[in-house]
Amino acid sequence: MFIFLQPVANLIIDIGNSSLKAAFSEGTQIGEVETYRGGDPLGFIREFASKARPDVISVSSVRIFPDSFYKELETLCDKFIHVTGEIDLPLKNMYKTPSTLGADRICAAIAAADLFPQKDILIFDFGTAVTIDFISAEKEFLGGNISPGLTTRFRALNQYTQQLPLLDAPEETEAAGTTTKGAIQSGVVLGLIFEIEGYIKHYPNHIHIFTGGDAIYFAKKLKSSIFVVYNLVLMGLARIADNYAKS
């Protein structure tokens, strides 16, 4: 853990579907991360930024905010970066529709390429959705796939049927459920495990990175060689912020 005293260079913000993470960064080093799940993200960011005015604010968001939200953030720093697939990035973006590429996927790819240079990489980001992204040894973002996440699968079974309850993921699963509860839990968890195992077996020579809220849960259930990396998106944001601070 790195905790920076004033002056602080940059503020990095990762806004996901269910939470917001913020930290100060110096170069590519990240300070203490704070997580916010309340209903006033702008107020939280204002308070966080007031600790020390940052040179750069770099934001990745999978949520949609009005322009006024970002204009307010611009007033809190000297240079503001709203990460999208269309800005200058420290990797080659091969996505055919860069305007639709999630900023979280971009940032995770940048961080992964820095962590494992000149390696082919598969990133599994376990959140509301599971994203599986491909980065080449030549530092190219090749694209990827999007699948329903663990919680999303449980919710879908509950919402789109009349009799199936809403359940949480268990610590242990049966190979074949012997109750309706067990059948749902095993079906959801094992279905996602087999999906991930399929990618790993198909690309055995890639580096396999797990990140996101459910990364540890699945890493414990797979026997493959896996790197679990916390705050991968924030690491990518720190790299982007550092690049723009120097430009």
Determine contact, residues 210/130, Cβ cutoff 8 Å.
Answer: no
Residue 133 known to be catalytic: no
3-state helix, strand, coil in the chain (%, to 5): 35, 25, 40
The partner residues of 12 in beta bridges, in order of sequence, read: 23, 58
Cα–Cα distance, 150 to 72 (Å, whole number): 34
Give me the catalytic one of 14, 104, 125, 133. 104
The partner residues of 38 in beta bridges, in order of sequence, read: none
Cα–Cα distance, 134 to 141 (Å, whole number): 6
Task: Name residues whose C-beta falls within 8 Å of residue 204's C-beta, 6 or more positions apart in sequence.
Answer: none
Cα–Cα distance, 141 to 143 (Å, whole number): 6
Cα–Cα distance, 140 to 239 (Å, whole number): 16
Cα–Cα distance, 148 to 115 (Å, whole number): 27
Determine contact, residues 77/57, Cβ cutoff 8 Å.
Answer: yes
Provide the Cα torsion 176, 168, 188, 14; round to 10°: -150
Question: Which residues are tagged catalytic?
Answer: 104
